Amino acid sequence: MVELSFGNKVDRFIRRKAPYLFISPFFVFFLVFGAFPIFFALYLSFHDWNGIANSPMVYIGWENYWYTLTDPLFWQALKNTIILTIESSVPQHVLGLFFAFIINLGFVKFKSFFKTTLFLPYITSTVAVSMVFAILFGYPYGFLNYLLVSVNKLPFFQTVFNWLRLDPPLKWLGSTSLMLPAISTQIIWRWTGWNTILYLAGLQTIPQELYEAARVDGAKWYQVFFKITLPSLRPVIQFAVTMSIIGGLQIFNEPFIMVGKDGGTGRAGYTLAMYLYQTGFEWGYFGSAAAISYLVFVLIFIFSFLSRKLLRSDEGVS
Amino acid sequence: MKMGQDQAPLLLEPQPGMGAVLKKTGIKLCLYLPLLLWTMITLYPFWYMMVLSTRSLSEIFAFPPPLWFGRALADNYRILLARLPFWRNVWNSIYIAVMATVTTLFFCSLGGYGFAIYEFKGKKVLFTIMLATIMIPALLGIIPFFIMMRYFGWINTPRALYLPGAASAYGIYLLRQYITGAVPLALVDAARIDGCSEFGIYSRIVLPIIKPGLAALGIITFLGSWDNFMGPLVILRDKMTYTIPVALRSFQGQAQTDYGAIMVGASIAVLPLVTVFLFMSRQLIAGLTYGSIKG
């Protein structure tokens, strides 16, 4: 009996400690690689450090933040990043909603073909695809310019191009005005399918009774769309838009590959993430780079908060 | 698709007469066209990439640009291998992605199990701390990440690129949700009464049940690692340790960039995954969007 009760004690002990045993491997890793860097970056952002291992870190207060906020390059990168985020996000979601709505219609055939195809860009390597798009947008002989030059021979398109004051072939990646639209095209290409699938899943959770009721009341399709479909999708839209904002404000791979690490002509494609990368890894100001990363964090926080406010449903559906 | 069928008559209310039929076909066409157009826009870059990989540099920059396959694939492939240890780079990408997937699934399933099944002191606080970090942008970590990796002497090592990400807050959240939803506590209690050890419950009861959740997290992790660029860019300095994205990027920087060769490399980076995806798209799409709708 003695052994048994001792065994019971051991068993109870293990049982009590089991939760900690299970989560501790994760938590040790999380503390070292997930939580510590956040505080380390904060600490670093108040110090002057050139990144060389044995050189001293000097406390300089808000100097790094002050320096960054008075650096014209920061403001240019900020402007580019916000424009890029808007130019790439809005079409993504409008198209995503539109395609989800179409695919969800009863008469549309080959639903899984469309779903699969639209989703394809998401599983590609951004760097590899950016290189394809760089050639696609090439001047003067990229495929897109070939298309534009070809259709420019038709009088209708001539009028349109004249009206837009464009004269193909266009220097997509070499001009300050066309660079961001070209880069956002690739982002839209990549994420529209993802959003479509997300919105499709959202559409399928809308209860049938709502549509039945609308039908009985004799509602028109656009009334159904704006009064039932869109409001019901609000939580999904809010999630998807927030994801776009978080991703957009950190955008790095696409511009870095398509127009180079300096952001191309007039730094028109220079984003905050590229500014952070150069400040830290090329110019060796690790303290400033950490400060930039915190500024980006604050920015993401503000924008996510705003999108949440704007997209919040009035009836508290979310 | 049940709901779609129910919805159709609502959108296209059947009306008598020829006009209505025409209108209906017209509307259908108007809805199909943009979808087909976008399908073409989606597929064209893949096609263009394959075509360019078979073309020489002078052909790529000719007018009109190549629209069909050429004969330079072998030459481009040779140039690619002459400038880069490309298959080594491919192996590095695969190795890091597989290790990232395995370690993430291991740590997150253990942790997710702990949070889902047990009640213990400090559980709420720990879980809240973890959830809070999900919203923190990845960019915030890049500077400390580099400094820590250098401090550990992990520059140029693959483990710098899979170990730190293994304790993914998103991953543990996803699996905890999955376990809470899929594993009844009564089942756990029954196993315990039958004398099953705590680890036995985890490995023999919970893991088999949450396979779909593990698959979802696994795919997300694999693709994330395959696509990762900034991490390898700051960690990998030696050609032999490059992953595909960094290798392609180093090629681009050279004096006379040979785009045909780059397109061969890009095809190798993109096409195998696309092929796998085409065969199991249904499961993959379900897995990839799993966390998004629930979360």
- pLDDT value at residue A66: 94
Region B9-22 average pLDDT = 45
Tokens 């004269």 found at: A167
pLDDT at residue A315 is higher than 70: no
pLDDT at residue A130 is higher than 90: yes
- pLDDT value at residue B292: 59
Region A183-199 average pLDDT = 94
pLDDT at residue A307 is higher than 90: no
pLDDT at residue B255 is higher than 70: no
Nearest to B3 among A146, A208, A252 (CB): A208
Dihedral class, residue B196 (left if φ above 0, else alpha if ψ from -120 to 50, else beta): beta
pLDDT at residue A314 is higher than 70: no
pLDDT tens column, A32-61: 988 899 999 999 999 988 777 677 888 888
Residue in chain B lying closest to A210 (CA): B7
pLDDT at residue B19 is higher than 70: no
Whole-number percent of chain A with pLDDT over 70: 94
- pLDDT value at residue B18: 45
Average pLDDT, chain A: 87
Nearest to B281 among A53, A116, A203 (CB): A116
- Which residues of chain B have a CB within 8 Å of the CB of A246? 137
Quote the minimal CA–CA distance from B256 to chain A in Å. Answer: 15
Residue in chain B lying closest to A247 (CA): B137
pLDDT at residue B59 is higher than 80: yes
- pLDDT value at residue B295: 39
Region A139-146 average pLDDT = 85
- For residues A102 and B31, what is the distance between their CA atoms, to the nearest angstrom? 6
Whole-number percent of chain B with pLDDT over 70: 88
3-state DSSP helix/strand/coil % of chain B, to nearest 5: 80, 0, 20
Quote the minimal CA–CA distance from A303 to chain B in Å. Answer: 12
- pLDDT value at residue A201: 87
Specify the pTM.
0.88
- For residues A182 and A84, what is the distance between their CA atoms, to the nearest angstrom? 10
Region A165-176 average pLDDT = 85
- For residues A233 and A224, what is the distance between their CA atoms, to the nearest angstrom? 13
- Which residues of chain A have a CB within 8 Å of the CB of B35? 99, 102-103, 108, 114
Whole-number percent of chain A with pLDDT over 90: 44
The phi and psi torsions of A252 (rounded to 5 degrees) equal -140, -55
- For residues A187 and A181, what is the distance between their CA atoms, to the nearest angstrom? 10
Quote the radius of gyration of chain A (alpha carbons, Å): 26
Listed in order, the ranges of chain B carrying CATH 1.10.3720.10 are: 84-253
- pLDDT value at residue B293: 54
- pLDDT value at residue B16: 40
For residues B77 and B267, is the Cβ–Cβ distance under 8 A?
no
Region A262-288 average pLDDT = 92
A23 contacts B167? CB cut-off 8 A: no
Q: How many CB atoms lie within 10 A of CB B215?
A: 16
Taking Cα atoms as reference points, which of A265, A266, A264, A293 lies closest to residue A277? A293
pLDDT at residue A271 is higher than 80: yes
Q: Which of residues 164-223 of A touch B (CB under 8 A)?
A: 189, 192-193, 197-198, 201-206, 208, 211, 214-215, 221
Domain B84-253, CATH: 1.10.3720.10
> If you write DSSP's letter for every residue of A37-82 in order, what string do you get?
HHHHHHHHTTEE--S-TTSPPEE-TTHHHHHHHT-HHHHHHHHHHH
CA distances for B111 relative to A26, B133, B140, angstroms = 6, 16, 24
For the record, the structure tokens of A119 come out as 């989703």
Its ipTM equals 0.87
Quote the radius of gyration of chain B (alpha carbons, Å): 25
- For residues A136 and A129, what is the distance between their CA atoms, to the nearest angstrom? 10
For the record, the structure tokens of B157 come out as 């090592």
pLDDT at residue B290 is higher than 70: no
A151 at the B interface (CB within 8 A)?
no
pLDDT at residue B246 is higher than 90: yes
A286 contacts B10? CB cut-off 8 A: no
- Which residues of chain B have a CB within 8 Å of the CB of A198? 289, 292-293
- pLDDT value at residue B8: 40
Tokens 């984003």 found at: A271
With 0-12 CB in 10 A as exposed, 13-18 as middle and 19+ as buried, what is A84?
A: buried
pLDDT at residue B132 is higher than 90: no
